[in-house]
Copies of this chain bind each other. A is one copy, B any other.
Amino acid sequence: MVNDLIFPDILLYLLDMVGVIACAIAGTLLAQHKGFDITGCILVSMANAVGGGTLRDIALDRHPLFWMTDLNYMFVITATSLILQTFFHLYHKIDRAVKLFDAIGLAAFSVIGFKVALHQDMSPLIAIMMGVWTAIIGGLLRDIVCNQIPLVLQREIYITASIVGSVAYLFFDYLGMNAGLNEFVMLGIIFWVRMLALRFDWHLPSIRLVD
């Protein structure tokens, strides 16, 4: 009831689509940069946008895959990629917006992956990991297909933000918070940690070995 009022699934779905658009833009930009053609750019965009959720669903044995029954994902990704390929000279005008979209996507993807794993009766640790998978594996696949060192394993506040949000959810859940409200709080925390990290250029330490 409260769930329905405060945090209906339709809102999560819309935020999910915002994240999908951000991923499709990032995938298309990198693929164009690598010299891929129109269909190659679309494929990389799809890997970036639904790759994480696809691997999560395969790992959790959820079939059919979410984008096979809801074709909106394919339409939104293809349209985003084609529009960007046609008007890519306008990209610098939307650069700021894409960072925002990307942070929204990180939060929405994490919440969805975390929720899905809990609904499959996974342990909280696996749920945290499925939130991280959903949020980062798309970007990982994009970088692997484009033959690059994965960015998401370096710009670490991605993974950390997702974990912080999941841990907060589990903590508030333990305190008895309503699940719908809690998802909303989790979404806000991940978004907020990511934006703070972007603003203040936060990084986890990385220990580089000397050869």
Contact = CB atoms under 8 A, between A and B. Distances in A.
Nearest to A162: B39
A129 B163 CA distance: 33
Interface residues on A, range: 35 or more
Given A145-B144, A148-B147, A207-B32, A74 B125 contact: yes
| Copies of this polypeptide in the complex | 3
A88 interface: yes
A209 B85 CA distance: 10
Interface stretch (A108-116, A170-178, A198-206): A198-206
A26 interface: no
B144 A209 contact: no
Contacts of A58: 58-59
Interface in A130-167: 132, 140, 144-150, 152-154, 156, 159-160, 163
A145 to B, nearest CB: 6
A43 B147 contact: no
A206 B35 contact: yes
Nearest to A117: B68
Nearest to A30: B209
A33 B154 CA distance: 12
B35 A208 contact: yes
Contacts of A59: 54, 58, 65, 68
